[in-house]
Amino acid sequence: MSNEQDDNAGKYREIAVLSIVPGIVGLLILSSWALAHWEIGPRWLNAGLALLATLFGGYLRFVAGFKDIFKRKITVNVFVTVALIATIAIGEFRPAALIVFIMAVAGALESYTLDKTRRSIRALLDFTPKMATVRRGEQEVAVPASEVRIGDVVVVRPGGRIPVDGVVVDGHSCVNQAPITGESIPVEKFKGGEVFGGTLNEAGRLEIQTTKVGKDTTLAKIVHLVEQAQGTKAPIQNLADRFTVWFLPTVLAIAFVAFWTSGDIKVAVSVLLVACPCAFAIATPTAVTAGISNMARRAVLIKGGVFLELAKKMDVLLVDKTGTFTFGKPKVVDVVAFDGISGEEVLRLAAIAEKYSEHPLARSIMTRAKECDITVPDPHEFNIEVGMGVTARLDGKKILVGKNEFLRNKGVPVAEHIENAVSGQTEQGRTTILVANDRKPVGLIAIADEIRHETPRAIASLKAMGIENITMLTGDNHKVARAVSEEIGVDDFQAELLPKQKLQYVEKLQKQGLVVGMIGDGINDAPALALADVGIAMGAAGTDVAVETADVTLMNDDLSRVVNFMDMSRKVMLRIKLNIFFSIMYNIVGFILAGFGMLTPVLAVIFQEAGCITVVFSSTLLLWSKTGSRLKNEDSGSLSVAPMAIDNVARENASQCA
């Protein structure tokens, strides 16, 4: 069976659990009640329909209950099994069926919110092209990527994805390998440079000698790490089950005392029924569903209530830098002019030289020039020196844009104060290029990955909530990592990490007994997201595999939504405890009434159902609960940042264009 057929079969099974089972049970109960009410047919017929509803709808509960008994575990399933068997034993089939119906609906709800499977990990391999262009002698032949062998020379043109791991044997280009390594700026590749399958060739033509194919590629190994990490993530015990451990023996003892004092088995069964943990069973899923629905309206998708509970217990939060704290795109962040020349003129000269270049840094310069409304004429000459810089000529004057060494090699003197300015930018984790006009340095342009405007405020809010241990993970170098961490207020960082090293860092913290949260957006984050106790993906810009692997998805890429999620996790856990308190109070009153013979089995079911209704109403209040009170202008969400962000950008643009 194909992967698509497997996915479809899984969807059909889910529909069956969510809709068909509760529907059939409800129909059987209604039929049984109608036959009894209008006295249609023999009594055994309506009783048989109720019994069939009980056995059909409660089958999985019975199986789970007996399994837990054999494992010597006292859970909600054990309690339900005992209550149902006792109810059936005295011939109260319809009350038993009503219990099963309530459990079936609650179970369907729980399976949807807690057990929705993720089936898109295989789609990660779609980043590798299905076809590859291989050089055979003097010809270039298109072949299926699966047929490429080690040693083959693969040709990748601009805009194409690289199909194999290998080494560049000819050509020069910039390769965006952020999904694999997490590097924020595309990396220049020359002869001898290593490339990874699934990365994007942005500029020039590359010829790559294949070193790894199939399951041995870096991308395939990341897939394996994701699957392995998901398989090792331990489940957490349901909160209701922890209460049931002591609650069931207590109820059984009360039921025995009621039978011993009254001599009526129905009194004992009524005690069991009024204490049936229906409210316990839905205390968690109803609160979870309300919390998940509330977050969904705020563009935060949560894949199960277990992650709300784990978020409440989180000890350390790991955050990927590129695409999470930052936008993952190079941007001009500073223009420094020398010897009285304006910053606008420096930017104009750089834009003239870079106008025909396809390099990512050149595009960032052109973008800044456009933002500053600078008219950029066509250069009369244009030449690229790979890995060094560009040369252009306009009105008889030569414009040079590139590294220090590039300018020196062209006979341009680079004074000490200019070198100090470059060093200062480098210490801030920025990529710096010098601009010279007519053999005279006129300024420098600093380029870096732009930090999201809401990031510092979100970090401060998370710390205010008690999450002091926030660590930034990145594939960038230490200087870039240090500069970003200082600017956003993160106290710790780990730099130059590959996907496996991020995974190992999560494992290290978990072995210390810590509950680990992880925020990321790229393929390189997927293994760590899968293994972390709570994986959070930046959804709008994040890759599909990061979204599917993670437990929580921020659909609008607003990091402040993590604060909303953490606040909601605390409210949901408090609501679950409140729900359990309500159910216990109903049980206490029910015990008293049933113990004195004041409740028949049917009235006992109705009474305990009243507890369920109270729990549902309590949970429903979460739908309108506000979150993120520690953030200003919370109700407007990410839009509240916009006026300030736009104002900041305007001021920044004005200062750099002046």
434 close to 465: Cβ distance less than 8 angstroms: no
Closest CA to 587 of 239, 270, 286: 270
Q: Which residues neighbour 312 within 8 Å (Cβ) at sequence distance 6 or greater?
A: 569, 570, 573
pLDDT in tens, 13-57: 555 556 778 888 899 999 999 998 898 988 889 999 999 999 998
Does position 338 have pLDDT exceeding 60, yes or no? yes
Which of the listed residues 450, 483, 498 is the one where a domain comes to its end? 450
Structure tokens at 385: 């020196």
pLDDT: is 180 or 574 the higher one? 574
Q: What percent of the chain has pLDDT over 90?
A: 16
CATH number of residue 347's parent domain: 3.40.1110.10
In a domain, residue 426? The reply is yes
pLDDT in tens, 156-176: 998 888 989 999 999 988 888
In a domain, residue 164? The reply is yes
What is the reported pLDDT for 291? 82
pLDDT in tens, 50-109: 999 999 988 888 898 899 889 887 776 787 788 788 878 888 788 888 878 876 775 565
Q: Which range is least confidently modeled, 180-184, 230-234, 486-490, 634-638?
A: 634-638
Mean pLDDT, to the nearest integer, of 247-266?
83
Tell me whether residue 320 is one of the annotated catalytic residues.
Answer: yes
Q: Which range is least confidently modeled, 157-166, 181-190, 488-497, 616-625?
A: 181-190
pLDDT band at 220 (very low <50, low <70, confident <90, very high): confident
* 3-class DSSP assignment, residue 191: coil
Other C-beta atoms lying within 10 Å of the C-beta of residue 9? 11
Does position 632 have pLDDT exceeding 50, yes or no? no
Q: What is the mean pLDDT of the chain?
A: 79
In a domain, residue 141? The reply is yes
What is the reported pLDDT for 635? 37
In a domain, residue 651? The reply is no
Which of the listed residues 407, 428, 450 is the one where a domain comes to its end? 450
Which of the listed residues 422, 450, 478 is the one where a domain comes to its end? 450
What is the reported pLDDT for 210? 93
In a domain, residue 51? The reply is no
CATH number of residue 199's parent domain: 2.70.150.10
Q: Per the structure, how many domains does the chain have?
A: 2
How big is the chain by its Cα radius of gyration, in Å?
32
Mean pLDDT, to the nearest integer, of 122-144?
78
Q: Which residues neighbour 96 within 8 Å (Cβ) at sequence distance 6 or greater?
A: 50, 51, 54, 58, 84, 87, 88
Mean pLDDT, to the nearest integer, of 221-243?
54
pLDDT: is 543 or 463 the higher one? 463
8 close to 16: Cβ distance less than 8 angstroms: no
pLDDT band at 634 (very low <50, low <70, confident <90, very high): very low
In a domain, residue 207? The reply is yes
In a domain, residue 418? The reply is yes
Range(s) of the domain holding residue 337 = 328-450
In a domain, residue 355? The reply is yes
What is the reported pLDDT for 238? 56
C-alpha distances (whole Å) from 248 to each of 74, 225, 259, 553 are 8, 41, 17, 38
pLDDT: is 650 or 439 the higher one? 439
Catalytic residue among 165, 241, 320, 557: 320
